[in-house]
């Protein structure tokens, strides 16, 4: 049983759930309902007037003046979204890093992990899989087997060339229509049920790759129990009586209109069947996530039917669920997942509350004055080497790292009270950033493409591999995060420049930070950030069998941290609040799923993986990989480095667990014995060592003869000299928000 967080929950399954006021002293056991639930409420046939056809949008006030837009271009490498989205959705920017992205790329027939099921749509049918895991010491992935495949027995529109259409989507859901089959699927993340609306008196076919051992209807014929020879038990519920017949591997129905819900019975455990019965009559059709208050995220589901709503929470949800929220946690009702056990939560809305994270220009604890001379000495050398004419790269990623590196020097100069170098840094930043903003940079530049709605680079508009795939929306928050950091610092030290280029700066930020949903936006809502998983995805418009992925959590943290810094520079409190909130969630997710601690329970089934790894290389929706895009699993110094860079004040919050830093360094150090290890990667390892051993790390850093292109000796010395006397243990982000001591 997962440990309850700051509360115990009173659960009586035979009665309606009450709103919680104060945590009861002891939980009560779940008892089955005294009688079967009433049937599901039928849904009207699909039609343009049906309330499920379109998700309601919140329309916000739009400023009178149009925001700045970079020059428009027709990209030759962007895929066409029109085959998969309903026409009304094509008038607004579209998601490019979504949890359902595979459904709208190429043939749309690669699976997506919509917890707790892997779901695949192809050939006018939809298959669902309750996946098992394949485990090694290097990677974990979930195996897709089409346990059940749902389709119409006879296609109503055999000439239709579309496999499916996305008719609506939101942060927490996507609605998938099969136009040739009169089927609409409400794919809501975390629902233990797959919900399908059937219209037009359609005869259904449900097939399986397994053998059906038993098939049992209820007396009302609104519930069927299906037992398969792989040990699985599935439950099928309907809103009205349905006649189903079966053979060894298929189930067929008479003509039917209404709602069908299908759920796996976890571990074929009969205790859970009464819970699924109880909540089978209330179904969500969509869900929204709202950043309603500082460091508070609220989920709200649109539901139909009767009774209370049952959803599933992943481990990070459970940690963040507010103690005063009106939900009930079913601690023993669990589904397996690569993300850790999914636990039942009853309630129409959730509130997730995070500890506040302070966004600071400089180190949290400060640098002691006796350390200034060594930092100033390195600072003078690093500033002397700044020369904008010597920059040879035109890559948006590497260029961004170089200008952010220079911006770090300015802030360190402020912190150690050596302002003499600021004019040189300011000139360098103006000379290097301005051409990207005014369109005069000869080798590359930012442009706007309108099919999906977002920025591409000039190189990326004709070559999908250029700029690490920026032109197909890969790694946007990584690249733009570095630019925003440099822009924020330059706007701070040169307010006149900041005012002049504020429209362009905000356009870069809005590409991945837009919150609005209205059709007049130039960019989709939170391009990279996943408000259900609570972290970002990086992979853009590229189809992958394992779904979206992200390699560097620290660069993702940098993106939102930098956006918050830009808010500080411009006095924009809303941007500060949003950036710091997203950074806080990204940090929590990194610590939950990328940082692998000894004895960790997140990957409980993968003992070999947990024993052999301290950080995940690339985290996929459906896989955990010890390898990197650019390095094999054995190059542990690269794995550590890509989860650390760039070294910033926010890094202290990301690696606030001193014991984990020890484990990580101990795990990585043997890799330095390999021939050819880069000095730049060593610098990040020594930075982590400095968290608990300042003197030892300092000695090693002084001996380095090279640094990552986004790092410098000045920055490493600043990091080591700003380490305090660290306490062992794991601390929450609120530790670094001093005002929290005065908030009760």
Residues 677-715 have pLDDT tens digits of: 999 999 999 999 999 999 999 999 999 999 999 999 999
| Cα dist from 200 to 26, 31, 154, 196, 471, whole Å | 50, 39, 12, 13, 43
pLDDT in tens, 601-640: 899 889 999 999 999 999 999 999 999 999 999 999 999 9
Query: Is it the case that residue 157 has pLDDT exceeding 80?
Result: no
Quickly count: other Cβ atoms within 10 Å of residue 21's Cβ.
Answer: 8
Comparing 53 with 7, the larger pLDDT belongs to 7
pLDDT-derived band at 326 (thresholds 50, 70, 90) equals confident
Q: What pLDDT does 724 receive? A: 83
**Partners of 165 in the beta sheet?**
177
Q: Measure the CA–CA gap between 623 and 133, rounded to whole angstroms.
A: 9
Cα-based distances in Å from 166 to 106, 157, 299, 513 = 14, 18, 22, 23
Is residue 170 very low, low, confident or very high in pLDDT (cuts 50, 70, 90)?
Answer: very high
Domains (range + CATH), the chain:
87-286 (2.70.98.30), 369-742 (1.50.10)
Task: Flag whether pLDDT at 30 surpasses 70.
Answer: no
Distance of CA 483 to the CA centre of its chain: 22
pLDDT digits (tens, 9 = 90+) for 416-445: 999 999 999 999 999 999 999 999 999 999
Is 166 exposed, middle or buried (CB count within 10 Å of its CB: 0-12, 13-18, 19+)?
buried
Looking at residue 50, its pLDDT comes to 34
Pairing of strands 342-346, 328-335: antiparallel
List the single range of 43-52, 55-64, 525-534 with lowest mean pLDDT.
Answer: 43-52
Q: Per-residue pLDDT for 37 more than 90?
A: no
The mean-pLDDT minimum among 553-562, 677-686, 723-732 falls in 723-732
Which residues are CB-neighbours of 632 under 8 A, at least 6 positions away?
Answer: none
What pLDDT is recorded for position 387? 97
The answer for residues whose C-beta is within 8 angstroms of residue 489's C-beta and 6 or more apart is 407, 408, 410, 411, 429, 565, 569
Q: pLDDT exceeding 90 applies to what percent of the chain?
A: 84
Whether pLDDT at 51 is above 60: no
Q: Give mean pLDDT, residues 515-543.
A: 95
Across the range 451-478, mean pLDDT stands at 98
What stretches of 265-308 adopt beta strand conformation (E)? Answer: 282-293, 296-305
Residue 281: band (very low, low, confident or very high) from pLDDT cuts 50, 70, 90: very high
Q: Alpha-carbon distance 553 to 537, whole Å? A: 10
Stretch 326-344: mean pLDDT: 97
Exposure string (b/e) for 346-381, b if CB count within 10 Å is 16 or more? Answer: bbbebbbbbbbbbbbbebbeebeeebbebbbebbbe
Task: Supply the residues annotated as catalytic.
Answer: 475, 551, 555
Q: Which tops the pLDDT comparison, 711 or 62? A: 711
Percent of the chain past pLDDT 70, that is, above it, reads 88
Q: Which pLDDT score, from 0 to 100, does residue 57 have? A: 41
DSSP 67-102: PP-PPB---SSSPP-TTTB-GGGGGS---SS-TTGG
What pTM does this model have? 0.91
Q: Compute the distance between CA of residue 228 and CA of residue 300 in angstroms, rounded to an integer.
A: 35
Q: Within a 10 A sphere around the Cβ of 519, how many other Cβ atoms?
A: 12
Per-residue model confidence (pLDDT) at position 40: 59
State residue 517's pLDDT score.
Answer: 83
Least confidently predicted of 48-52, 100-104, 260-264, 565-569: 48-52
Rounded-to-integer distance, Cα 5 and Cα 23, Å: 11
* pLDDT given at position 513: 98
User: Residue 734: which pLDDT band, with cuts at 50, 70 and 90?
Assistant: low
Given this model, what pLDDT does residue 12 score?
34
Report pLDDT for 139.
Answer: 96
For residue 599, what pLDDT is reported? 86
Q: What is the pLDDT of residues 187-218, one digit of tens each?
A: 999 999 999 999 999 999 999 999 999 999 99
pLDDT band, very low/low/confident/very high, at 739 (cuts 50, 70, 90)? low
If one compares 58 and 288, the residue with the highest pLDDT of the two is 288
* pLDDT on residue 322: 86
Token pair, residue 738, equals 């001093």
118-134 residue pLDDT tens: 999 988 999 999 999 99
**What stretches of 262-348 show up as alpha helix (H) in DSSP?**
270-279, 315-320
- Overall average pLDDT of the 540-547 stretch: 97
Is the pLDDT at 591 greater than 50? The verdict is: yes
pLDDT band at 292 (very low <50, low <70, confident <90, very high): confident
Q: Report pLDDT digits (tens) over 471-500.
A: 999 999 999 999 999 999 999 999 999 999
Using 50, 70 and 90 to split pLDDT, how confident is the model at 156?
low
Mean pLDDT of 34-54: 41
Q: Which of 298, 288, 295 is nearest to 351 (CA)?
A: 298
Query: Which pLDDT band holds residue 412 (cuts at 50, 70, 90)?
Result: very high
Name which of 143-157, 570-584, 660-674 the model is least confident about.
Answer: 143-157
- Whether residue 22 has pLDDT greater than 50: no
């Amino acid at each position: 049983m997962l440990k309850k967080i700051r509360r115990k929950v009173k659960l009586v399954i035979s009665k309606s759930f009450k709103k919680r006021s104060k945590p009861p002293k002891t939980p009560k056991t779940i008892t089955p309902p005294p009688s079967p639930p009433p049937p599901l409420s039928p849904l009207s046939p699909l039609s343009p007037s049906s309330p499920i056809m379109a998700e309601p949008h919140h329309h916000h006030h739009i400023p009178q003046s149009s925001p700045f837009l970079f020059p428009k271009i027709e990209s030759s490498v962007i895929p066409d979204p029109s085959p998969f989205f309903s026409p009304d959705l094509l008038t607004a920017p579209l998601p490019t890093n979504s949890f359902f992205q595979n459904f709208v790329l190429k043939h749309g027939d690669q699976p997506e992990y919509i917890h707790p099921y892997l779901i695949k749509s192809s050939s006018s049918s939809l298959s669902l899989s309750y996946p098992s895991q394949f485990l090694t010491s290097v990677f974990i992935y979930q195996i897709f087997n089409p346990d059940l495949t749902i389709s119409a027995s006879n296609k109503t529109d055999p000439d239709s060339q579309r496999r499916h259409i996305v008719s609506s989507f939101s942060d927490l859901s996507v609605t998938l229509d099969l136009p040739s089959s009169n089927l609409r699927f409400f794919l809501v993340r975390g629902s233990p049920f797959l919900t399908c609306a059937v219209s037009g008196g359609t005869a259904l076919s449900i097939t399986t790759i397994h053998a059906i051992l038993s098939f049992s209807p209820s007396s009302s014929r609104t519930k069927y129990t299906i037992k398969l020879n792989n040990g699985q038990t599935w439950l099928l519920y309907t809103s009205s009586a349905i006649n189903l017949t079966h053979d060894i591997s298929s189930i067929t129905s008479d003509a039917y209109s209404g709602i069908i819900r299908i759920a796996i019975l976890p571990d074929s455990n009969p205790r859970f069947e009464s819970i699924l019965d109880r909540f089978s009559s209330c179904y969500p059709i969509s869900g929204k996530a709202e950043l309603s208050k500082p460091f508070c995220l609220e989920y709200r589901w649109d539901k139909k039917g009767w009774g209370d709503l049952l959803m599933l929470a992943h481990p990070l949800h459970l940690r963040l669920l507010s103690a005063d929220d009106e939900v009930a946690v079913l601690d023993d009702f669990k589904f397996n997942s690569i993300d850790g056990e999914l636990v039942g939560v009853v309630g129409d809305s959730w509130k997730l509350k995070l500890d506040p994270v302070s966004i600071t220009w400089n180190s949290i604890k400060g640098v002691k004055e006796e350390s200034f001379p060594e930092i100033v000495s390195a600072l003078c050398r690093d500033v002397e080497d700044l020369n904008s004419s010597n920059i040879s790269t035109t890559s948006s990623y590497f260029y961004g790292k170089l200008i952010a590196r220079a911006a770090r020097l300015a802030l360190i100069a402020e912190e150690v009270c050596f302002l003499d170098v600021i004019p040189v840094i300011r000139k360098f930043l103006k000379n290097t950033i301005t051409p990207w903003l005014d369109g005069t940079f000869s080798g590359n530049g930012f442009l706007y493409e309108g099919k999906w709605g977002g920025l591409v680079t000039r190189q990326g508009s004709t070559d999908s591999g250029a700029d690490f795939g920026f032109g197909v929306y890969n790694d946007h928050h990584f690249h733009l995060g570095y630019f925003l950091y440099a822009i924020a610092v330059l706007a701070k030290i040169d307010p006149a420049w900041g005012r002049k280029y504020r429209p362009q700066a905000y356009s870069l930020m809005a590409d991945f930070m837009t919150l609005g949903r209205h059709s007049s936006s130039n960019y989709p809502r939170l391009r990279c950030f996943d408000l259900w998983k609570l972290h970002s995805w990086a992979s853009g418009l590229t189809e992958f069998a394992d779904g979206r992925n992200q390699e560097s959590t620290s660069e993702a943290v940098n993106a939102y941290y930098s956006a918050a810094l830009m808010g500080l520079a411009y006095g924009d409190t809303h941007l500060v609040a949003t950036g710091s909130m997203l950074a806080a969630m990204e940090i929590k997710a990194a610590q939950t799923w990328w940082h692998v601690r000894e004895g960790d329970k997140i990957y409980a089934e993968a003992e070999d993986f947990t024993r052999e790894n301290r950080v995940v290389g690339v985290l996929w929706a459906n896989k955990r990989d010890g390898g990197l895009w650019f390095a094999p699993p054995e190059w542990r110094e690269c794995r550590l480095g890509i989860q650390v860079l760039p070294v910033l004040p926010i890094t202290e919050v990301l690696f606030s667990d001193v014991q984990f830093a020890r484990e990580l360094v101990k795990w990585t150090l043997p890799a330095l014995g390999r021939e050819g290890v880069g000095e730049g990667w060593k610098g990040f390892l020594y930075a982590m060592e400095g968290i608990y051993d300042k003197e030892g790390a300092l000695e090693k850093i002084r001996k380095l003869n090279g640094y990552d292109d986004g790092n410098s000796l000045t920055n490493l010395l600043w990091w080591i000299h700003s380490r305090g006397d660290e306490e062992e243990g794991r601390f929450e982000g609120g530790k670094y928000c001093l005002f929290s001591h005065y908030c009760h």
